[in-house]
Chains A and B, each alone.
Chain A
């Protein structure tokens, strides 16, 4: 059974249909790259998965469990619990500027502890394990020496790597990236893409919206090309990049290659 099943997701903003029925599946440990021109609905799809938008129709299953069904009303608590199946790394990082790197990583899990009723000892153990996890993740993204730095003291590439570590602290089943390198200077995209590539080796399931075609080709197991709110083409990188079936895909790909 697929780890993630997305069924017939539709989303309107007023009268504009932004997602017109999105269907796909993702196996555990797979990396899905979503490509497509701007305005095709890629961000909206990730936001629906992360409950930042509520889809009007459709359902989402993780590991066989229904995490979202448009016909059901969820309260804030349910949403908070269900959205933790997903993590989201934003184009603009969105680190918390008043906290240092370490605090950015530990804030959310520490606050989550407060919701649980734990004894003093249990709490201490839990806090220590959060710290340990954060230290490991910082090392994982190559920023151990920056744990006391503030976001304003970091380069864009470093900030984005902190944001990735921050998302991973919550141990999401599926980590989503919305154009993680689009806000970066060209010379900084490599360090971020390498981190994402490295996570694939550790069996993380990921969805990456990207304009980096080489990255999609080389790292993804599956590629979706979106156009006007529908999945225009889906397949392995070889299929989508090597032998696209749809005219729109061909036009988009030749356009993106032309720019280079």
Chain B
């Protein structure tokens, strides 16, 4: 089994890895905001329910959540609710949205009351205050914890193999079945490049937002 053959096969796995990564981000980033609004709601029952939900999702291993989403509906409905890939996305999106929501909440609550009040006395609406005054300041403050979370997501995609999604590690393990171990170690290179690029991107954003202090 040659180097290029292995590389090609791992790249196919990487495609799945990237797909899980990108779909999870695109869906979990906005969903997290919705969840954070729920947990900060002045309507207490909603806030409590949201907090309990976040506690459960953050308290159970993501691997187990993937398995639950894929197998459990099948017990009750006879057929699975989601395809394998759909189950992975559903579990990842919910899981990451909960983590993001806590980061958002921390960021939003860290903005001084005076910022809202300044907007209010100038006659701005609540949504204008949120989008024009608060949001940018929140983004700046949460950039570092978000970059951590996003980098963790890159590596968490490997969990998808528990329900037979052939992402990059699974692809490498198929070689191991023939006694070929090095492709498994070789995957580290792909992860490092992926994470390296993300770090550069986040560094760029951080610099962009460095034009002011607050």
Contact = CB atoms under 8 A, between A and B. Distances in A.
A108 interface: yes
A80 interface: yes
Interface string B99-138: 0000000000000101101111111111010001100110
Contacts of A151: 212
Contacts of A95: 118
Interface in A169-213: 170
Contacts, number: 67
A166 B213 contact: no
A241 interface: no
Contacts of A165: none
A97 B214 contact: yes
B140 interface: yes
B117 A98 contact: no
Contacts of B115: 94, 96
B211 interface: yes
Nearest to A151: B212
A126 to B, nearest CB: 15
B213 A152 contact: yes
Interface string A96-107: 111000000001
A112 interface: yes
A184 to B, nearest CB: 16
A111 interface: yes
A87 B126 contact: no
Nearest to B136: A98
A90 B211 CA distance: 25
Contacts of B214: 97-98, 152
B132 A107 contact: yes
A214 interface: no
B211 A112 contact: no
A96 B136 CA distance: 10
Interface in A80-98: 80-81, 83-84, 86-88, 90, 92, 94-98
Nearest to B214: A97
B212 A152 contact: yes
A52 B120 CA distance: 8
